[in-house]
Structure 1
């Protein structure tokens, strides 16, 4: 037997390095879980902020179709979210305003104007005309516009006030002019005119009271200033926004509650309105309240003209948008933070729509596949030029949606950017929740090439360790038949010499006449040789020796064949395997481990179907548990003076599963260590008799690589039963459904 070229120190160093690498992988997995948890927390905070907002918040794509609406939108417009998502926003805009709205937002899109304000009327589900004042912000991905985000408030009451004031002024001016003309021309009806004027004044007072009540109840600030910017009229909300009492605000100039920069903004806009006569629908500026707090306002302003059409001041409505700006800033920060966290995760994250189009493609996906996010967004997944096991991926996605549950793909082969074949570990999850997000499937993955190499090395090391431990027993098992084969061959060799003597004498008997020796004399010599060589005995025993020799050779052949099947299964991919044969081969290989301490009983179901699995993995699992069972029984029987223990192995089919049971009559597993038995490097054996890898490797092989299960029942003083359950067919072993294929051009 050739000695190993590596020293114990080298092997120990390799084992320590392997432990460190596995620990690093576990730490990386913990970090990923924490990052994902933080990301989900940030997402919940962001959506809670939107859900609790008092304003309408909605988003559209670049074509104007709704992609998100908040509950306030549903309440004000009377439509449900399901009715709104996918509809065009112009369908809600009043017909007389659609062309102007399309032109305004088309200009914002083409010129990439980041923030705008626009007032427009919408028609609710009940037919009510609702005016909205809305701030619209472009949604950007790099330099590309991906949609619109709007925050809007119902300004219907404000519009009603403005329209009522306008109608009232026109009515009053007409009335005064008519009455004045009548007074000049018809002195005779002076009494009647005085009466009508009093009636008009009463109506005016009533109208003023009505609209004053409206002004005092709205949340927005209403104000009127003269041409120099001094307040001449304002409502309670305007005073409240600025933090002053009404008495303190009366007559104040805007320079008293704005800093120089914002005073310039107001002067410039008011001057433009004065010069052009055109009202402004969106002036953004800051005020400093009485207590020194900065508040952000948005105001719409128009000219006040006297009866002769000469400008005498300005009127406007201001809205405090401080909290709205803070919410938008928090929303942007949440978006940025979430994006940073997701792109910092060293795992592939791909979101796919229900029609298999790419909706999200993170930095790790770019790094692994060499395709930038902007190159793949919106494209079908099966059109991407990725050299990987595409059919395997397609089947995984289809199965995930069909079963509405996660699907794991542990060995997805792909071509790495360095030109070498790699392996991806993929998890495919269905996405539940808001259908407007259009996400049907989330693909998570990692390049596990190095990990798989280490696992295979670890499994091979475990297999070599097992072979090394079994070598002496295997040699003994082979030596026993070889010994009596050798004895029988030696017997046949000596027997041939005796038979040859008898044959030689028979030849001399034939030639006796030629040599002049009597036939009777030669015959006596032959009879003597037959008696000396015990020819009768030889003719009886030689066939028996040949049968024993052939039996011994057959036993050696079976042992060698079992070793070969165990140590060199000949494949790393899943194929249909006879589990009963695998059990029998492993029993043969490990015979010397159990035959001195236990009687082994098998109950293998003859009609057991073939199982799709990696034979080498299953051989190793059965061997690990069988050797553990033999060692557990050995601790009970010790020197064998009380007889042997018992090991039972059975197989059976349970629906779509095959179950292997391995039971022993050992001492059982103590309760305190039961949670740890599948942990890597956990062992209760003394140094040199185990590395603690056997059950850990078995668990990985059964659960992770074959999507099965491995469990145990144990009772102190009575023994342990391990149950290995394997799916008969790989869940992904089916033909691609119609319309699902991987054929990138």
Structure 2
């Protein structure tokens, strides 16, 4: 009985202790929440400073690498949005923070959105400036060759314009009282050549772009810095407001805690009095209740046994119903979740059975396959993927590139991924995800052809010189032959007149005089020589034209080709690049088998490597009179492969550059001399398109060696090439 009297008192004491502990825990949680807010504010400040640093660095370096700027701008916007969501959360009833807390983040969100928009405008403007500057410098190089080295006045003018472009002084730069574009336009009028005027006309828009966008970009940066400063101040203001509200809340709860303690003390005193008073009466009731409890306990035991049996049966049925309802709800959620994912997925998703029958497709699949109103559900997948005639074929093609076709027979380039999934039915199910590579493949072909044409354009001046040299002495020989023929015709006419004369003695003397006057000995010696020289010149021009034709031959399918002839054509085309700085040494395997390849691609790869070798030799031996480098080209068979090796004794490459030479747009050359795409495209042509290998070894100061390995066993196409992009080019 005494133990039963202590329970209410202990319970009251425990309740008071729990109330005090709850208040202390709430206080700690509030402090932790405040620390988390401070951490979010610090992150926003750091991201804002990093975005400003990236923007200023891009402006100073004139590069187009926007990955860091884009990522940090997006992270800044997300961080501001997160504090906006948190500010809405602390006003809800479920939040641990008081309901009277108010923090308005709309200004910070607006400023962050403004910074994001300004960074996007900055990327657009800086791209226009860099592209215009690069094109303008390239056009200046072409104008130098048009104007000629002997024109000192115009060469000085071009040097001045180029220096201004390189020093980035176009903005507010004046030549006396004129802007650079007006000054260049005025000089254009003095050019007599129409082609030179056309080059200047191409050059002027890029100068005007620089004059327009440079000040515009500077104003954008000034505005960005101003808005960024406002965002920093706004974050500082929000931080102060939130800290003040938290501190005020903690201080306002102290009187409530004192009142709570007094209430607990009062309850304990009153409860103790009530317990001791009721203790006396409880002893009297205890004896009466003991007998009554025994009787009730017996009756209750019988009733409990009956109720337990009934409850057990009800519980079993209830559990079974709940399990069934839970499984049905889970199945419905999974189906809705799967449909939501597949319908919004950008890639086509197809569900098939083991017979390749299409069971389900998303919207992206209907759009890709150009399905009619009935859709593609229920059809066989092989109708759209001819290479997948069976399930085994389909599984073998997983994670590979295949060809497909739409409902209207349009050809597609696809990458397919296949995964087997669990199904409630006994039938197997497979999920196929298609990645449309058609546009990507088309762009890769266009980029490859553009790079090939760019290489031909860079070699155009050297090729023109190679053709012009034999053409010049052919022209001189033709003039000499024309004059010689006229002399022979005069001699023949004199001989005819002599033959018509009647005096024999005079005829002999006149004939000798005619022979002496015609100088027949000289003509007999020089005319055949002139004809032979002209014939050699025509053969030389034909060789160059044939090499150009072989180099630019379009094609996209593999054909059996003579690599020795292809490399010889490439050497002829590129002769203008290496003949002044290097000697060529070839070691071609005469028994080299025909190789299945796209010969124009191999020509393009070899040309890029040979031109790079010539540039490396020129950089190493520049300033050394009559010192020639060496480029060595060899071919050989190596088992099931054919190996091409191109070596030079140029300046070589350190390891950090050698590891990046196949990266797109990576180059160590000056602006206008290289785009950084040649070796990247060469690597893709050999490795991806021909299933070959490209290795490079280099040592600074000694040279570089490229080793290309091509397999002999590949499927070839003997029909005509039908690639529209290649044929059009």
TM-score, normalised by the number of residues in structure 2: 0.51
Superposition map of 1:458-477 within 5 A: 458-477=447-466
2:530 aligned with 1:559: no
| 677-686 vs 326-335, greater mean Cα deviation | 326-335
Looking at secondary structure, tell me which structure has more strand per residue: 1
Which whole-Å CA distance do the structure 1 matches of 2:421 and 2:697 have between them? 37
- How far did 1:624 drift? 1.4
Aligned partner (choices 544, 555, 570) of residue 529 of structure 2: 544
Change (3 A) 1:327 1:597: farther
Aligned partner (choices 493, 501, 506) of residue 504 of structure 1: 493
Unaligned runs of 5+ in 2: 1-145, 147-194, 210-298, 719-729
Indicate the SS of the match to 1:599: strand
Q: Which has the larger radius of gyration?
A: 1
Change (3 A) 1:731 1:556: closer
Is the 1:659–1:724 Cα contact (8 Å) retained in structure 2?
yes
- How far did 1:375 drift? 6.5
Which whole-Å CA distance do the structure 2 matches of 1:505 and 1:337 have between them? 108
Is the 1:343–1:362 Cα contact (8 Å) retained in structure 2?
yes
Is the 2:559–2:716 Cα contact (8 Å) retained in structure 1?
no
Aligned partner (choices 593, 596, 611) of residue 627 of structure 1: 611
Indicate the SS of the match to 1:646: strand
Which whole-Å CA distance do the structure 1 matches of 2:493 and 2:439 have between them? 74
Change (3 A) 1:535 1:432: farther
Question: Residues 171-207 of structure 1, C-alpha deviation per residue, up to 9 Å, x if partnerless?
Answer: xxxxxxxxxxxxxxxxxxxxxxxxxxxxxxxxxxxxx
Change (3 A) 1:638 1:730: same
Indicate the SS of the match to 1:628: helix
2:442 aligned with 1:414: no
Instruction: Please name the residue that 1:493 is paired with.
Output: 482
Instruction: Please name the residue that 2:628 is paired with.
Output: 644
Aligned partner (choices 676, 679, 696) of residue 695 of structure 1: 679
- How far did 1:433 drift? 13
Change (3 A) 1:545 1:442: farther
Which whole-Å CA distance do the structure 2 matches of 1:231 and 1:468 have between them? 101
Change (3 A) 1:495 1:345: same
Question: Residues 371-401 of structure 1, C-alpha deviation per residue, up to 9 Å, x if partnerless?
Answer: 599976675433x2x4x7x35x669975974
- How far did 1:549 drift? 0.9
Which whole-Å CA distance do the structure 2 matches of 1:599 and 1:628 have between them? 14
Which whole-Å CA distance do the structure 2 matches of 1:430 and 1:577 have between them? 41
- How far did 1:341 drift? 4.5
Aligned partner (choices 562, 566, 575) of residue 582 of structure 1: 566
Question: Residues 107-164 of structure 1, C-alpha deviation per residue, up to 9 Å, x if partnerless?
Answer: xxxxxxxxxxxxxxxxxxxxxxxxxxxxxxxxxxxxxxxxxxxxxxxxxxxxxxxxxx
Q: CA RMSD in A?
A: 4.6
- How far did 1:618 drift? 2.5
2:600 aligned with 1:616: yes
Instruction: Please name the residue that 1:530 is paired with.
Output: 515
Aligned partner (choices 466, 481, 485) of residue 470 of structure 2: 481
Change (3 A) 1:395 1:463: farther
Superposition map of 1:670-709 within 5 A: 670-709=654-693
- How far did 1:360 drift? 7.0
2:702 aligned with 1:718: yes
Looking at secondary structure, tell me which structure has more helix per residue: 2
Change (3 A) 1:575 1:348: farther
* Structure of greater relative contact order (alpha carbons < 8 Å, 6+ residues apart): 2
Instruction: Please name the residue that 2:439 is paired with.
Output: 450
Which whole-Å CA distance do the structure 2 matches of 1:501 and 1:727 have between them? 67
Is the 1:501–1:529 Cα contact (8 Å) retained in structure 2?
no
Change (3 A) 1:251 1:381: closer
Superposition map of 1:175-574 within 5 A: 231-232=304-305, 283-284=317-318, 297-298=319-320, 337=337, 340-341=340-341, 344-349=344-349, 361=361, 363-371=363-371, 380-382=380-382, 384=383, 386=384, 390=386, 398=393, 401=396, 407-409=400-402, 412=403, 414-415=405-406, 421=410, 423-427=412-416, 444-513=433-502, 518-567=503-552, 569-574=553-558
Unaligned runs of 5+ in 1: 15-225, 234-249, 255-265, 271-279, 285-296, 300-320, 735-745
Which whole-Å CA distance do the structure 1 matches of 2:207 and 2:448 have between them? 16
Change (3 A) 1:494 1:375: closer
Which whole-Å CA distance do the structure 1 matches of 2:674 and 2:654 have between them? 18
Which whole-Å CA distance do the structure 1 matches of 2:309 and 2:426 have between them? 50
Indicate the SS of the match to 1:652: strand
Indicate the SS of the match to 1:232: helix
- How far did 1:437 drift? 9.8
Is the 1:670–1:716 Cα contact (8 Å) retained in structure 2?
yes
- How far did 1:646 drift? 1.2
Instruction: Please name the residue that 1:139 is paired with.
Output: none
Question: Residues 321-373 of structure 1, C-alpha deviation per residue, up to 9 Å, x if partnerless?
Answer: 87x98899778766765665555443345577776555775553332114599
Change (3 A) 1:378 1:611: farther
Which whole-Å CA distance do the structure 2 matches of 1:431 and 1:731 have between them? 31
Superposition map of 1:102-117 within 5 A: none
Which whole-Å CA distance do the structure 1 matches of 2:359 and 2:717 have between them? 28
Instruction: Please name the residue that 2:638 is paired with.
Output: 654
Which whole-Å CA distance do the structure 2 matches of 1:445 and 1:456 have between them? 21
TM-score, normalised by the number of residues in structure 1: 0.50
Instruction: Please name the residue that 1:161 is paired with.
Output: none
- How far did 1:557 drift? 0.9
State the aligned residue count: 433
Which whole-Å CA distance do the structure 2 matches of 1:657 and 1:11 have between them? 49
Is the 1:668–1:714 Cα contact (8 Å) retained in structure 2?
yes
- How far did 1:684 drift? 1.0
Is the 1:229–1:253 Cα contact (8 Å) retained in structure 2?
no
Question: Residues 470-527 of structure 1, C-alpha deviation per residue, up to 9 Å, x if partnerless?
Answer: 11100110011111211211221121122222212221222112xxxx2222322221
- How far did 1:687 drift? 0.9
Instruction: Please name the residue that 1:245 is paired with.
Output: none
Instruction: Please name the residue that 1:600 is paired with.
Output: 584
Is the 2:413–2:441 Cα contact (8 Å) retained in structure 1?
no
Change (3 A) 1:733 1:479: closer
Indicate the SS of the match to 2:632: strand
